[in-house]
Amino acid sequence: MLAFLEWGMNLTIANHEMQFVVLHAAVLAKGQDAVVFPAPPGSGKSTLTTYLAFSGWRLMSDEMTLLKPHSLSVTPFVRPICLKNQSIQLAKQWFPDGTFSTIARDTHKGDVIHLSPPDNAWDNQSQQAEIKAIIFPQYQANTKFEVYILNEAQAFSSLSKNAFNYGVAGDIGFKSLVNAAQKVPCFEVNYNNIADLEGVIETEIF
């Protein structure tokens, strides 16, 4: 089953990849500039990823950001986008011509489907990008749109909570996350409309 294959791949990368600092985060790019979206499960990350990937952004990863130590360089980890439960119908409404897998029903995460990203993601899967901003997204249906600028300490704390191999990487992981928190703007965003979030990214960051 594709869902279990993906989760097994995630576990393997999270436990054994030491070449990079691995964040539980989506990452999408415009040209050579990338925005990283670290978020725990249930934050709407994959729904956001889908919308952006099919709206002119280049998907680098839906699930794992591979950060080169002591830099802002991220390496693509392209694969199908994993969508769950209500997000499945949304994605099919937004992008009916997308290439969807069959649904894996009643997994421990509910119903799961995979969506192949646009061709530009596959065609550029060896093209690295530099982090231009880090956004911690939180989708809530009945919330108002709010953007908070994080200071370096807040950004580092949130990044470390979303780093798979931070503890194992030791000093390299610590210094790499400090470097990212110091050098790029970091935001926490509460939103109920993805288009509003994309608009802020386009106008304020790009």
Q: What is the pLDDT of residues 32-58, one digit of tens each?
A: 999 999 998 888 899 999 999 999 999
Q: Does residue 119 register a pLDDT over 80?
A: yes
Distance between CA atoms of residues 40 and 86, nearest Å = 17
pLDDT digits 0-9 by tens, 46-101: 999 999 999 999 999 998 999 999 999 999 999 999 999 989 999 999 999 999 99
> HSE of 170 in the Cβ direction (CA atoms, 13 Å)?
2
Q: Are 204 and 151 in contact (CB under 8 A)?
A: no
Domain 13-78+128-205: state its class.
alpha beta
Angle at which helices 86-94 and 45-53 pack, to 10 degrees? Answer: 10
pLDDT digits 0-9 by tens, 161-198: 998 887 766 788 899 999 999 999 999 999 999 988 99
Q: Using pLDDT thresholds of 50, 70 and 90, give the confidence band for residue 204.
A: confident
The predicted model gives 134-149 an average pLDDT of: 92
For strand 33-38 and strand 21-30, is the pairing parallel, antiparallel, or unpaired?
antiparallel
pLDDT reported for residue 3: 47
- Residue 17 backbone dihedrals phi, psi, to 5 degrees: -80, 110
Residue partners of 183: CB distance under 8 A and separation at least 6: 72
